[in-house]
């Protein structure tokens, strides 16, 4: 280094540091605020689930802080195809500009409500009463879609299999009373396009409304038919 440059060494270093800081600042200005993206997704989800009730809560999770996305003047939120805002879900946020970007923000939708649980062990085939059902305050979004939330809908129905105490009740666990029993003579309707033919047969099993049972016809043929009423089945 020449003598004339030596006194300027510290100044040169300071200038380089300042220039680097300025470059970093300009780079930061060009990066989109991740918190703004999170808030955009959260607002979208809140609006989308408003009809679920006033107590529904939406929590949008922060994005990975290492994510660097170019700044965009008009970001927009959307629901990815096949996504349902219920429980753990996601909301997309994109930059619609040419060469833009798209990210998915993880959201949690909590739906407070009451669901039915077995108040005690429930034997198979026993009609449920109010004493058999316990309502609990839960996050409905954590339960299956067919969870029982209306006690009246479960009263009189029967467990298809034994249910342990404390288990959340689902619609597919329960069935209505048997309208057809094994050995019973039943009316059989054969239905199709433009025709309905009535006959008689003998049920070979028990069945509630909507269930299928085996029926032996007068000719000795065994068919599968759907229970449509008390002592009545239908074949389509």
Provide the CATH number for the domain around residue 125: 3.90.1210.10
- Whether residue 217 sits in one domain with residue 182: yes
**pLDDT tens for residues 119-158?**
999 999 899 999 999 999 999 999 998 999 999 989 999 9
Look at residue 103 and tell me whether its pLDDT is greater than 70.
yes
Residue 119 domain-assigned (yes or no): yes
pLDDT at 29: 56
- Whether residue 167 sits in one domain with residue 153: yes
The total number of structural domains that make up the chain: 3
Provide the CATH number for the domain around residue 212: 2.30.30.760
Q: Which domain holds residue 38?
A: 34-110
For 188, residues 6+ apart whose C-beta sits below 8 A from its C-beta are 198, 199, 200, 201, 215, 217, 223, 225, 233, 234, 235
Residue 25 domain-assigned (yes or no): no
- Whether residue 205 sits in one domain with residue 166: no
For the full predicted model, state whether its pTM sits above 0.85.
Answer: no
What are the tokens at 118?
A: 């077995």
- Whether residue 105 sits in one domain with residue 60: yes
Q: Is the CB of residue 56 less than 8 Å from the CB of residue 111?
A: yes
Is the backbone of residue 42 left (phi > 0), alpha (psi -120 to 50) or beta?
alpha
């Amino acid at each position: 280094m020449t003598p004339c440059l030596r006194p300027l060494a510290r100044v040169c270093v300071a200038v380089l540091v300042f220039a680097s800081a300025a470059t970093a600042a300009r780079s930061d200005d060009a990066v989109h605020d991740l918190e703004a993206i999170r808030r955009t997704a959260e607002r979208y989800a809140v609006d989308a689930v408003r009809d679920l009730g006033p107590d529904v809560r939406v929590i949008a999770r922060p994005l990975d802080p290492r994510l660097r996305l170019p700044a965009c003047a008009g970001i927009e939120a959307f629901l990815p195809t096949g996504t349902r805002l219920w429980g753990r879900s996601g909301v997309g946020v994109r930059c619609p500009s040419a060469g833009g970007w798209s990210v998915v923000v993880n959201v949690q939708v909590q739906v407070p409500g009451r669901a039915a649980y077995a108040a005690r062990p429930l034997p198979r085939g026993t009609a449920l009463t109010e004493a058999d059902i316990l309502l609990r305050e839960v996050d409905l979004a954590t339960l299956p879609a067919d969870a029982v939330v209306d006690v009246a809908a479960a009263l009189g129905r029967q467990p298809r299999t034994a249910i342990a105490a404390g288990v959340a009740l689902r619609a597919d666990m329960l069935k209505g009373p048997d309208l057809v029993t094994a050995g019973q003579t039943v009316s059989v309707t054969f239905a199709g396009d433009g025709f309905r033919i009535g006959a008689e047969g003998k049920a070979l099993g028990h069945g509630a409304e909507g269930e299928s049972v085996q029926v032996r016809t007068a000719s000795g043929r065994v068919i599968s038919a759907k229970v449509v009423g008390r002592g009545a089945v239908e074949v389509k």
